[in-house]
Amino acid sequence: MNNNTNKRKHQDENIELEDDNDDIYKSAKLSHSDIVELVNQVENDEFEELNSNSLKKLVLSFENKYLKNQQLRSKFKDDHSKYLESEMDLDESIKNLQVLATTPDLYSVFVQLGTVVSLGSLLTHPNIFIVASVIDLLYELLQHQEEESDQKMSLYQSMIENGIVEALVQTLSKLEVTEEDELKAIVNVYNCVETLLDLNSEQVARVLTTCQYPFISYLVSIVTSQESELKMKLHASELLSIILQSNQVSHDLFGTKLEGIEKVLVVLSKTIKTPPVALEEKEFYENLIQSLCSVLLTNNTNKQLFIKSEGTQLMLLFIKKKTIFRGSALKLLNFSISNHKDSNENFVQVLGLKTLFTCFMKKLKKSSEKKKIYSEFQDDEHIITIIFSLLTQLNKDSDSMNRLLFKFTENDFEKLVRLLELHEKYYIRVQMLDRKIQHEQQQKDEEEDDEDLIYLKRLEGGLFTLQYIDLIMLLLSYINTQIKQKLLDLFKSKNFKISSIKAVISDYLENNSSSITTYDISQLLEKTF
């Protein structure tokens, strides 16, 4: 600090004031009240609270500078020095609009003024720094987007309707990851897309799937590239997973046109030799598996592509080697064979039964290390559903069906014993859950939960797995008399009532179709038990 600095105590407040230039204070001769008034004036001038009128002033300033820049660029195409200053002014006016993020209730005014359209057109501006500033602004605004009573006036809806979402992702074609400022813009494009998907995943995913710019192709190229940085790959895999979960049209595009199934399986296969260690790596690969789950569940063409790409063998390898993706591999196998005869037949042909029933018989030890890899509740669900799928999709008199049935008769019917153990485990679990739900309903002052919501809670709490365990016992008893007799003997030895199985299956029939492929469950129930 300057040696001439003068320290003065204010008479009223006993506060020391310092300044580097005391002459200013001497000449000004301002009282304390004058200083306070002056400061207030400055604050009011520079930090005026944003309202409808002040927003319109900001928008008008932005639009004028945008128009001026357009005119100068058009007039002096070959002399950038003529419009350089206007570009700097335009960039500043874009940044000034970020204050709108502090007052989201003014977004509808912002949309009504048409500024969103102007910002969208700037995404094609030749100056990449202008483009980056617009992207930054859009992300800042989207982060604070609130639910609008009038959806037509919402920021994200305006972006969708005016083609700005497509223009936003199109900027990725000209942004370079090697440039720091442009890399930040790329990340903000990802952030914008993620926020838009959070606001309306179905609508935004549809736009991203059908838009002219091949955004899904771009994401696939990022997640399958060896050159891409892990953070970029992770973010891209998250977006890909959300889009594929939200839009079925994207499934054909991903599987057939982009060959995404084969490409992703190649990436996943590398984890066999080099297991991921970092949390971000694990999340990245889990996102890829989830993407495959989405495109396989209801798409038979993709299921054939999965077979062709030897996806079944890779997932079985994940399970046999007890990798961290064991549970996800079971889930993917479950989805891949659902309602698809060829996939079920292929599962048997590539020796999937041995791996499946090793998992089925496995009783996990309660160790922290096991818990990291296994989720017993989820694994049980997927294993049981796979067995059910095989029983209903394999041809009744085929060699594959005989191999499946043999699994239940070998080693003194040990799989049947295990099946009954699982029934008891989940039967008790569901009973406890039902008592808990009943108690919660009695404690509620408000209206009781909707019946569908309660049923969903029961399914998620173990009823789904219990139903399919009992359906498996029913189907096995119908298909094979030897197995049926052994089950009846086991019921008797454990004082187990068949009526409990009938009750579970009857509950299933009340909420589901009776017909499952070639079997009618209601008829089987009458004939078998």
Model confidence over 253-277: pLDDT tens digits?
999 999 999 999 999 999 999 999 9
**Residue 507 clears pLDDT 70, i.e. is over it:** yes
**Residue 45 clears pLDDT 80, i.e. is over it:** no
* pLDDT score of 48: 62
Q: What is the arithmetic mean of pLDDT over 394-414? A: 97
Question: CA-to-CA distance for 325 and 289, rounded, in angstroms?
Answer: 9
**Residue 8 clears pLDDT 60, i.e. is over it:** no
Q: What is the arithmetic mean of pLDDT over 124-131? A: 96
Q: Are strands 515-516 and 8-9 parallel, antiparallel or unpaired?
A: unpaired
pLDDT interval class at 424 (50, 70, 90): very high
* pLDDT score of 150: 57
**Residue 458 clears pLDDT 90, i.e. is over it:** yes
pLDDT interval class at 2 (50, 70, 90): very low
- Eight-state DSSP code of residue 262: H
In the chain, where the domains are located: 8-43, 53-177, 414-528
Those residues whose C-beta lies under 8 Å from the C-beta of residue 327, and which sit 6 or more positions away, are: 373, 374, 375, 378, 379, 382
| Phi, psi (deg, nearest 5) at residue 68 | -60, -40
Question: CA-to-CA distance for 528 and 522, rounded, in angstroms?
Answer: 10
**Residue 465 clears pLDDT 50, i.e. is over it:** yes
Mean of the per-residue pLDDT values of the chain: 88
- When mean pLDDT is compared across 6-20, 62-76, 145-159, the lowest value belongs to 6-20
pLDDT interval class at 83 (50, 70, 90): confident
- Eight-state DSSP code of residue 515: E
Per residue in 222-245, pLDDT (tens digit) is: 999 999 999 999 999 999 999 999
pLDDT interval class at 448 (50, 70, 90): low
pLDDT interval class at 443 (50, 70, 90): confident
C-alpha distances in angstroms, 348 versus 34, 302, 313, 316, 408? Answer: 89, 19, 11, 12, 15
Sign of the alpha-carbon dihedral angle for 102, 106, 107, 113: negative
* pLDDT score of 49: 79
Which of residues 20 and 203 earns the better pLDDT score?
Answer: 203
- Retrieve residue 58's tokens: 């900001």
Q: What is the arithmetic mean of pLDDT over 91-115? A: 95
C-alpha distances in angstroms, 357 versus 111, 363, 386, 387, 408? Answer: 59, 12, 11, 9, 10
Task: List residues bridging with 17 in a β-sheet.
Answer: 8
* pLDDT score of 152: 63
Please give the share of the chain, as a percent, with pLDDT higher than 70.
85
pLDDT interval class at 81 (50, 70, 90): confident
- Retrieve residue 131's tokens: 């483009």
Please give the share of the chain, as a percent, with pLDDT higher than 90.
76
* pLDDT score of 485: 96
* pLDDT score of 6: 40
- Retrieve residue 309's tokens: 């790409």
* pLDDT score of 495: 87
